[in-house]
Amino acid sequence: MLNFSYYLPTHFVFGRGAEEKAGEMTRQAGGTRVLIHYGGGSALRSGLIGKVEDSLKRAGVYFTALGGAQPNPLASKVYEGIRLIRAEKIDFILAVGGGSAMDSAKAMALGAVYEGNFWDFFCGRATPQAHLPVGAVLTIAASGSESSNSAVITRDETLEKRGLNCELNRPVFALMNPEWTCSLPPYQTACGATDIMAHVLERYFTNETGVDLTDRLCEAVLSAVIDAAPRALRQPGDYDARAQLMWAGTIAHNETVGVGRQGDWASHKIEHELSAKYGVAHGAGLAVVLPAWMRYHLAHDPARFAQLAVRVWGCEADFRAPEVTGLAGIERFEAFLRSIGMPGSLKELGGKSEDIPALAASTRKEADGGVGNYTHLFPQDIEAILRIADK
Amino acid sequence: MLNFSYYLPTHFVFGRGAEEKAGEMTRQAGGTRVLIHYGGGSALRSGLIGKVEDSLKRAGVYFTALGGAQPNPLASKVYEGIRLIRAEKIDFILAVGGGSAMDSAKAMALGAVYEGNFWDFFCGRATPQAHLPVGAVLTIAASGSESSNSAVITRDETLEKRGLNCELNRPVFALMNPEWTCSLPPYQTACGATDIMAHVLERYFTNETGVDLTDRLCEAVLSAVIDAAPRALRQPGDYDARAQLMWAGTIAHNETVGVGRQGDWASHKIEHELSAKYGVAHGAGLAVVLPAWMRYHLAHDPARFAQLAVRVWGCEADFRAPEVTGLAGIERFEAFLRSIGMPGSLKELGGKSEDIPALAASTRKEADGGVGNYTHLFPQDIEAILRIADK
């Protein structure tokens, strides 16, 4: 088990009516002039933006709004937000939506108080030193961005998709009412569930030993998602299923299940190339990459794959052949993803075999040219993984 | 699932050498004049106090020390601390030890800035409005006090043992090096493991539905403790086993596994009477009360007991008779507690049958005279539970 530091300053208000706390929580956090940043029209049409605005009004807080956060949020929107923040002397950003709105808001919060180009932080040219505080009103169970230290932005010109992890990225509060997720289309619900599972699995696949407790916490979250996602798809208004997914999304990505171990994250990096190139949803890309990544790694650590298969997927253990048990677990994962409507191959995602070498080459590398921690993947490994996905 | 608010501001530094951060973390938290509060001589003899003092010196922080925190910490020590804090103009309390040192420190922190008697807070006559910040250097995996909102103090004259839950009680930081728990005697290690399991089980037994995720998180922590405790007893220096127990103790009692549900807490209240009357360790008292409480409640909700038996204790499910499965789980719990050296009856605890009516009568009641939330126990119920324990 690795030494760790754990500090989660986000204040969560969870349950029916949580959005009505927006004004009070913003004031508590010192916000007086607020930029509400949201995505498409659904947050407007559903009435959520109206409720948030009413709450801010009741609290006597000035606000202005900027919509248009897109899936795989773009740098151009961040620049637009930064200009508005400066013009309006904004001191607090309230993201209303999912990962896109929150990640954009985080990037704006860093960029607005920085003299240079905010992209410096995302390409490693500078380290953030200050920010505006960000709050979140969540409408999608998926990214965990409501309390994670990460943000992912795509550069318009080059379609480079880059993540930034830093403690300043954690929102000061997150208002989480599962009811707002009940109107999500099935495909987005399933993409979100996949993203949540991926956040857990990226942490689960570690070479660290002596991490039994966090293994079991990971397994608990996976099991809960496997139970809740089909319920939410069958009955979109199932509050309890939506609530399990929503809280699972949060704890999957704020280190509750990840302390004391080094995660892998190669699948995320490979997927970023797919969603940047083909414009696919992050969860859908992960549904294709992650099982292929798992098949490629089964031989690296059959015991861990067998543990996952038995404890999470209910597979019978073959005690003489953990790799057989492990493979059965991967197959159940693939069957589960298909059952909730996720794509099962690069082709179903709209990808092309001939793009594979370029995708492998463009996947963001560490300094030594490798990707991931469970094993260190080089372009030929990434190609092999994408070939497995290209069935 | 109930609406909830979750805010955990404690900053954890976990792993080898964590105690060396004492000075830096205290300064970060604004401490300039520190009271180190610790228990018996073991923290001195082990060299831990010396290391903490060195760290404070390096950070240029003034400190004085007060030892003598006892198991089931007494109000008299709290008064002594408050006098010292005022005389020395202390602005930060650093508890070094386990639940006793931390709970005493929390009570001092509230009492030092209150004009009245700190006991007012513990008997419900006043609500805390202010405090001095408290930090913790942990030496026992048990109470979870290092990030919980609770403190329990016993009044010397009457042996009343009373708990206070309030958000001001959460330490600002917790330094957690599992190595300091390796020298704990086996009995204390086992008491700690029992206390951790009890904190989870008090939350597990709820009538709330739609709480699958937290059910599974509870089960994960229980399973990890069931695995780690015997390892730590067999091989006291097993770092990884100690680390699992230490982090399990923390998340068992800071609502990581308890959000969105109402816990029971009757067993804790009944046990408080036992430890106040017989001076037994809290964990040992729980080992006697909790299984008896479970036997008394099996018929109330056989499905939940069966779920626990199957998922945590590996019992085979009798699908036609969940109460049979549930009972098998309780029996495995009892066998486990015995295997780690815990007492199995009131007698083994030093208790007497003839004390039972008085113990039942003195258990701290809610306003309506009942105790606990899973069911609401009246004195005749508590008597019945203690008779089950008196075998």
* B263-305 tens-digit pLDDT: 999 999 999 999 989 989 999 999 999 999 999 999 999 999 9
CB A303, CB A391: distance < 8 Å: no
CB contact under 8 Å between A220 and B224, yes or no, is: no
Tell which of A213, A215, A227, A245 to mutate to test the B interface (max B CBs under 10 Å): A213
Smallest CA–CA distance, residue B160 to chain A, in Å, is: 35
Residue B15 contacts A where some CB pair is shorter than 8 Å: yes
Residue A227 contacts B where some CB pair is shorter than 8 Å: yes
Q: For B187-204, what is the mean pLDDT? A: 98
CB contact under 8 Å between B7 and A6, yes or no, is: no
Nearest-CA residue of chain B relative to A222? B213
Report residue B41's pLDDT band, with 50, 70 and 90 as the boundaries. Answer: confident
Extended beta strands in chain A, E state: 4-14, 33-38, 62-66, 92-97, 134-138, 150-154, 161-165, 173-176
CB contact under 8 Å between A14 and B4, yes or no, is: yes
Cβ contacts of A228 on chain B, cutoff 8 Å:
212-213
Q: For A261-280, what is the mean pLDDT? A: 94
For B127-160, the pLDDT digits (tens) are 999 999 999 999 999 999 999 999 999 999 988 8
CB contact under 8 Å between B223 and A216, yes or no, is: yes
CB contact under 8 Å between A221 and B217, yes or no, is: yes
Q: Which of B318, B314, B337, B338 is nearest to B223 (CA)?
A: B314
Judged against a pLDDT cut of 80, whether residue A367 lies above it is answered with no
Cβ contacts of B8 on chain A, cutoff 8 Å:
8
Report residue A363's pLDDT band, with 50, 70 and 90 as the boundaries. Answer: very high
Judged against a pLDDT cut of 90, whether residue A160 lies above it is answered with no
pTM as predicted: 0.97
Which chain A residues in 275-314 lie under 8 Å from chain B, judged by CB atoms? none
Smallest CA–CA distance, residue A306 to chain B, in Å, is: 18
Mode of pairing for the β-strands spanning B92-97 and B33-38 = parallel
CB contact under 8 Å between A259 and B239, yes or no, is: no
Smallest CA–CA distance, residue B13 to chain A, in Å, is: 4
CA atoms within 13 A on the CB side of B12: 27
Extended beta strands in chain B, E state: 4-14, 33-38, 62-66, 92-97, 134-138, 150-154, 161-165, 173-176
Could you tell me which residues are beta bridge partners of residue B150? B165
Judged against a pLDDT cut of 90, whether residue B72 lies above it is answered with no
pLDDT at A23: 98
CB contact under 8 Å between A12 and B14, yes or no, is: no
* Continuous segment of H or E residues that includes residue B376: none
Report residue A71's pLDDT band, with 50, 70 and 90 as the boundaries. Answer: confident
Residues 6+ apart with CB under 8 A from A311: A216, A219
Residue B11 contacts A where some CB pair is shorter than 8 Å: yes
Q: For A63-78, what is the mean pLDDT? A: 94
Nearest-CA residue of chain A relative to B248? A213
Q: How far apart are CA A2 and CA A206, in angstroms?
A: 11
Tell which of B2, B4, B5, B6 to mutate to test the A interface (max A CBs under 10 Å): B6
Cβ contacts of A13 on chain B, cutoff 8 Å:
5
Tell me what percent of the residues of chain A surpass a pLDDT of 70. 100
Residue A224 contacts B where some CB pair is shorter than 8 Å: yes
Residues 6+ apart with CB under 8 A from A117: A111
Q: For B51-67, what is the mean pLDDT? A: 98
Nearest-CA residue of chain B relative to A219? B220
Positive/negative CA dihedral, A142, A145, A148, A154: positive
Nearest-CA residue of chain B relative to A256? B256
pLDDT at B212: 98
CB contact under 8 Å between A213 and B224, yes or no, is: yes
Cβ contacts of B17 on chain A, cutoff 8 Å:
3
CB B220, CB A219: distance < 8 Å: yes
pLDDT at A343: 98
For B333-381, the pLDDT digits (tens) are 999 999 999 999 999 999 999 999 999 999 988 778 899 999 999 999 9
CB contact under 8 Å between B240 and A12, yes or no, is: no
Nearest-CA residue of chain A relative to B243? A1
Cβ contacts of A224 on chain B, cutoff 8 Å:
212-213, 216
Residues 6+ apart with CB under 8 A from A128: A110, A114, A121, A164, A166, A168
pLDDT at B159: 84
Q: How far apart are CA A362 and CA A163, in angstroms?
A: 15
pLDDT at A369: 81
Residue B260 contacts A where some CB pair is shorter than 8 Å: yes
Residue A1 contacts B where some CB pair is shorter than 8 Å: yes
Q: How far apart are CA B332 and CA A94, in angstroms?
A: 50
Q: How far apart are CA A79 and CA B71, in angstroms?
A: 59
CB contact under 8 Å between A221 and B216, yes or no, is: yes
Cβ contacts of B220 on chain A, cutoff 8 Å:
213, 216-217, 219-220
Smallest CA–CA distance, residue A314 to chain B, in Å, is: 12
Smallest CA–CA distance, residue B199 to chain A, in Å, is: 16
Tell me what percent of the residues of chain B surpass a pLDDT of 70. 100
CB contact under 8 Å between B5 and A16, yes or no, is: no
Report residue A72's pLDDT band, with 50, 70 and 90 as the boundaries. Answer: confident
Tell which of A216, A226, A255, A259 to mutate to test the B interface (max B CBs under 10 Å): A216
Q: For B227-243, what is the mean pLDDT? A: 98
CB A223, CB A197: distance < 8 Å: no
How many contacts, defined by CB atoms under 8 Å, are there between A and B?
A: 119
Cβ contacts of B212 on chain A, cutoff 8 Å:
224, 227-228, 240, 244
For B107-119, the pLDDT digits (tens) are 999 999 999 999 9
Tell which of B217, B227, B246 to mutate to test the A interface (max A CBs under 10 Å): B217
Nearest-CA residue of chain A relative to B16? A3
CB contact under 8 Å between B11 and A7, yes or no, is: yes
CB contact under 8 Å between B260 and A14, yes or no, is: yes
Q: For A91-103, what is the mean pLDDT? A: 97
pLDDT at A391: 83
Average pLDDT value for chain A = 96
Of A4, A15, A216, the CB nearest to B2: A15
Place of tokens 């909102």: B149
Q: What single DSSP character describes residue A33? A: E
Q: For A356-362, what is the mean pLDDT? A: 95
- Tell me, what's the ipTM? 0.96
pLDDT at A15: 98
For A171-225, the pLDDT digits (tens) are 999 999 999 999 999 999 999 999 999 999 999 999 999 999 999 999 999 999 9
Residue B239 contacts A where some CB pair is shorter than 8 Å: yes
Q: How far apart are CA B70 and CA B275, in angstroms?
A: 13
Q: How far apart are CA B271 and CA B391, in angstroms?
A: 17
Cβ contacts of B249 on chain A, cutoff 8 Å:
none
